[in-house]
Chains A and B, each alone.
Chain A
């Protein structure tokens, strides 16, 4: 073997923990947060309701709640729980906080033009988003075989990122890419980690994020009226 044979390295050489420790992170944060997970559920309901409403104030509200979710999962799960066993998670924690700041700026400062999609589409968006956010956590339960490991939106990063992408369609396409970069990076990092850990069912989470992110770069909801 040569002295610089990088081909001898595999992803598993860079992972310093096993699946047991990783899956326990979800159990631990749920135990420590209990019963405040209720706030995450309230947040989900609020976002779904605001997506159905769909006016300018509702858009600002959705982005502010997303900011809160990114802040919470970054400072909580990534920095306080995941970071001590995986240093890059700590770096992502800071990036999540930066993303939260960006979302806050977009919510409060962006000059929204009042475009709105058709009521039927808004209902579909709200209900579809809620269904996605309620069903994706079951992947972690399925992987761990433990209900206490349920991964909630606003608490754990994969759920927060996956559920945020559809909401980011609210942003004009010319600035949306700025908000999709971190989800793309996170999804790649998370997919590589989960694949290497052998938690293959959970890989569907970042896979869903990747698909949604790529779609998010191109797709925009069609406006039907201008209330501006």
Chain B
């Protein structure tokens, strides 16, 4: 049945959308509270599930896909998400994120995390400015040195930017378990708010040194590649969840993988990336309910290792 679309209806719909963005938990899961963790250096709370953009938001000028990614971001916000992480390395991801934020009018809803990715140690502010322009924001909440590229020069500038109020937090990143030795040395010596690293039910090297060190030094931890770039699903999705999964708060594999990560006491949030709304809904399921305890975490790792 066709419905006449009036200006009044349009404005009412717009207001409802805006309201839903600002009241995410009410829309997503009535009566349930999102699981959050405090950023050690400030005490500010963050939802334990964030969103990555690697490979997923680099869609160039494809209007159709920009619309689809905007729907993914909308679902993320509606279900209580906040931290979104990107990088100038990810092609057009910054541009697409800026357009999606603009369409959703969600600039004040996002905890904006980005990276400095250039060998030119003098280009920190310039790259930060370029990324801000693409996102359409006045400042990033978190700015990180991507994969330790020219990290000394960039970190020096980021410290000054933080002191000047140009960013709120600073950090460094690695992935795939690379350069953990150097990463740990920087964590020991520099005043970092955040580190970002790879950790999942199979890639657990970070448990040895980096995660304990983050707790000891009071550094927030963002976890990338929580699904090993999708490999965990390809490998295990056809397998059954263990019978005790609901006791650990998991009703599907996405929740299983994510809750294993965010239940580690040193982890602040995980940043899965997806192109599909239904997958985003599954991911955001890990933001609610109970988290596995230490014994259940061991069970989870053993179960996956045994498949």
Chain A residues in contact with chain B, CB under 8 A?
1-3, 5, 8-9, 12-13, 15-18, 20-21, 24-25, 28, 81, 84-87
Contact = CB atoms under 8 A, between A and B. Distances in A.
Contacts of B90: 16
B60 interface: yes
B59 interface: yes
12 contacts: A8-B178, A15-B55, A16-B54, A16-B89, A16-B90, A18-B55, A18-B56, A20-B65, A21-B65, A28-B62, A85-B91, A86-B91
Contacts of B65: 20-21, 24
Contacts of A2: 181
B22 interface: no
B188 to A, nearest CB: 16
A3 B275 contact: no
A20 B275 contact: yes
A84 B176 contact: no
Which DSSP category, helix, strand, loop or mixed, fits chain A's interface?
A: loop
Given A16-B89, A24-B64, A85-B91, A3 B55 contact: no
Interface residues of B, number: 25
Contact of A84 (B56, B64, B91): B91
A148 B213 CA distance: 53
A85 B92 contact: yes
Interface of B: 54-56, 58-62, 64-65, 89-93, 176-182, 205, 229, 275
Contacts of A13: 176
A84 B89 CA distance: 12
B54 A1 contact: no
B67 to A, nearest CB: 12
A77 to B, nearest CB: 12
Contacts of B92: 84-85
Contacts of A84: 60-61, 91-92
B59 to A, nearest CB: 5
B139 to A, nearest CB: 25
Contacts of A28: 62
A85 B55 CA distance: 10
B134 to A, nearest CB: 12
A15 to B, nearest CB: 8
Contacts of A18: 55-56, 275
Contacts of B61: 81, 84
B94 to A, nearest CB: 12
A3 B179 contact: yes
B178 A5 contact: yes
Contacts of A25: 60, 62
Contacts of A87: 91
A8 B176 contact: yes
Which A-B residue pairs are the 3 nearest by beta carbons? Answer: A84-B60, A85-B60, A16-B91
A13 B225 CA distance: 12
A182 B90 CA distance: 27
Contact of B182 (A3, A12, A85): A3
Contacts of A17: 55, 58-59, 91
